[in-house]
Amino acid sequence: MTSSSASSALAPYGWDDAWADQFAPHDAEGLIAGRVVRVDRGQCDVVTATGVLRADTAFVTPHDPMRVVCTGDWVAVEPGGNPRYVRTYLPRRTAFVRSTSSQRSEGQILAANVDHAVVAVSLAVELDLGRIERFLALAWESGAQPVVVLTKADLVPDPVTLAHLVQDVETTAPGVPVLAVSARLDEGLDTLTAIVGGGTSVLLGQSGAGKSTLANALLGADVMDVQDTRDADGKGRHTTTTRNLLALPGGGVLIDTPGLRGVGLWDAEAGVGQVFAEIEELAGRCRFHDCAHESEPGCAVLGAIDSGELPERRLESYRKLMRENQRIVAKTDARLRAEIRRDWKRKGAEGRAAGEAKRNGWR
């Protein structure tokens, strides 16, 4: 297959001239270009110009959660072999990362090369604005453009109430489109379809947020399994168990993800600042450049709270996320310093052992 025909075959999955230029050295080695559509148990499915291949990821650093192959990566795959191996992945344009639940303060990459992060929030339960802010911080930090989709809008029949809910989220998500949709009734999907039709989108949210139903509506077919949510709390089971990349019929690709119970920040200071842009702007007007917005005189942030311009909940959420992010960065720095010290000790021991061996050889 010629390079141009291969590019044409991969175009529906986001392949472009820039990716082709980056892949050129691997093409010269006879490797195959493809995009990872699914990863599980150290192997992945890769869509290529000639079809989907199954490949092993062992050659790509397996012990660093930030450097493992993930859904959305563009990779170079061996043309044959049993097993067939992924040799490397191309530098990522964007990456959606959260902190792991381990004690090692590591980041976990959830999806790569994403243009839009679609945060699904169910209207079947009370809105958790703090959780929305958390998702948005990670989305902004990834480099993707976030979109908040309020699912199951048919459960809020009163248009005035629905408008108030949308407004509450818009206040929480400055600069972010907020869409109320009902995938079940096929209502409100036109704008979302247009957004995800350009590039790669990742679908995020808790279990029960209606992600699989929304994915099926965008795909125009029942591709993803759907399960009922519990009536008691509106939560659902993990219908989606892996991250899957799927081509949309109207253009663009969608990465569906399992429901996320924990959404820990990972070095997301810029993302937090983007979510709370109004607080960052107010902070620039404070009398002191290092104002903590606690009780300092001339604090523009506290002044905005006193005047009603800024809801106190927003400031508390901002403080919480900034503190959490500072903790994870400090823990990560400490871990890296410890690893460097261990590496120095190892190399020192190796040097001493080599010197001792030479001295013994001279005797």
**What are the DSSP calls for 270-315, one per residue?**
HHHHHHTHHHHHHHTTSSSTT--SSS-TT-HHHHHHHHTSS-HHHH
Helix, strand or coil, per DSSP, at residue 247:
strand
Name residue 13's amino acid. Answer: Y
3-state secondary structure at position 363:
coil
pLDDT digits (tens, 9 = 90+) for 128-148: 999 999 889 888 888 899 999
| Band (237; pLDDT cuts 50, 70, 90) | very low
For residue 310, pLDDT over 70 is answered with yes
Residue 345 tokens read as 């000790």
* Token pair in block for residue 276: 């709370």
Q: What integer pLDDT is reported at residue 233 of this predicted model?
A: 45
CA 168, 173, 177 angle in degrees (round to 5)? 95
Residue 305 has which token pair? 């709270």
pLDDT for 55 equals: 95
> pLDDT category, 262, cuts 50, 70, 90?
low
pTM score above 0.85: no
Taking only the tens place, the pLDDT of each residue in 113-131 is 999 999 999 999 999 999 9
| Mean predicted confidence (pLDDT) in 164-174 | 94
- Both tokens of residue 84? 């067939």
Pairing state between β 253-256 and 244-247? antiparallel
For the segment 101-105, the average pLDDT, to the nearest whole number, is: 51
What strands lie across the sheet with 32-40, from one edge to the other?
51-56, 43-48, 32-40, 74-77, 86-89
Question: Which single residue is written with the structure tokens 């279990």?
Answer: 207
Q: Cβ of 183: how many Cβ atoms within 10 Å?
A: 25
- Least confident stretch, 17-26, 68-77, 227-236, 308-317: 227-236
Cα–Cα distance, 250 to 329 (Å, whole number): 41
Q: Does residue 356 carry a pLDDT above 70?
A: no
The pLDDT value recorded for residue 62 is: 65
pLDDT at 240: 47
Weakest-pLDDT range from 8-22, 31-45, 323-337: 323-337
Identity at 333, one-letter amino acid code: D
pLDDT tens column, 339-354: 545 655 565 565 566 6
